């Protein structure tokens, strides 16, 4: 694995510490990185967005996606390491969660800068009550698996602790 083009993913539940750990990981790449915020502004989560912004390193520039389709272009044209936070909030930008997953994974697979991706772990044990929630949980799981398959390293974050996710023995 070449660090200059590695793909690292941090999966975790809500408040697991995944974003903080991903930001710390970015320090490995020097003082020029770009934080890609995939969720647009929303009154429901402005406080959470403000907390994320306050913890962001001063040397990290920020791009807030205006549309979900912008993410693939950012990856293809990146000149600095990227921190993408997060794939679940990117997915909700698409009606019925029909995001261009193949295009995203192709761009990630052909990256020319280091990329760190933050991803949600959802659906672990609780059965969704609505069809919409079930569809979201299903699509996030599929998207997480696709990204993990092309990642150089994958981690599960629980209570600010890291667990390395190894490839299956048959891979």
**pLDDT tens digits, 76-129:** 999 999 999 999 999 999 888 888 999 999 999 999 999 999 999 987 777 778
Q: Would the pLDDT of 38 be above 70?
A: yes
pLDDT of the residue at 127: 76
Query: What number does CATH give the domain 3-11+23-164?
Result: 3.40.50.300
* CA-CA-CA-CA torsion sign (153, 102, 170, 138): positive
Q: Is 95 helix (H, G, I), strand (E, B) or coil?
A: helix
- Percentage of the chain exceeding pLDDT 70: 87
Q: Is 165 helix (H, G, I), strand (E, B) or coil?
A: coil
User: Which residues are within 8 A (CB) of 60 and not within 5 positions of it... i.e. 6 or more apart?
Assistant: 23, 26, 33, 34, 35, 83
Per-residue pLDDT band for 157 (boundaries 50, 70, 90) equals very high
Q: Which residue has the tokens 């989560």?
A: 45
Domain ranges of the chain: 3-11+23-164
Q: Read out DSSP for 12-38?
A: E-TTSSHHHHHHHHHGGG-S-EEEEE-
Of 34, 128, 149, whose CA–CA distance to 85 is shortest?
Answer: 34
Question: CB atoms < 10 A from the CB of 1, how many?
Answer: 10
Is the pTM here over 0.75, yes or no?
A: yes
Parallel, antiparallel, or unpaired: how do β-strands 7-12 and 115-120 relate?
parallel
What mean pLDDT comes out for the span 25-35? Answer: 91
């Amino acid at each position: 694995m070449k660090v200059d083009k590695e793909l690292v993913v941090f999966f975790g539940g809500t408040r697991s510490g995944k974003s903080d750990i991903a930001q710390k990981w970015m320090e490995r790449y020097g003082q020029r990185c770009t934080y890609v915020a995939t969720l647009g502004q929303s009154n429901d989560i402005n406080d959470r967005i403000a907390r994320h912004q306050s913890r962001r390193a001063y040397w990290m520039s920020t791009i807030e996606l205006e549309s979900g389709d912008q993410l693939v272009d950012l990856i293809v044209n990146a000149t600095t390491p990227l921190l993408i936070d997060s794939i679940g909030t990117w997915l909700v930008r698409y009606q019925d969660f029909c995001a261009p997953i193949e295009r995203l994974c192709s761009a990630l697979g052909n990256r020319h800068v280091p990329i760190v991706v933050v991803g949600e772990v959802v659906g672990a044990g609780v059965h969704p009550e609505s069809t919409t929630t079930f569809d979201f949980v299903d699509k996030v799981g599929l998207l997480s698996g696709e990204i993990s398959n092309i990642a150089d390293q994958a981690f599960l974050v629980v209570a600010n602790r890291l667990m390395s996710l190894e490839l299956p023995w048959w891979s």
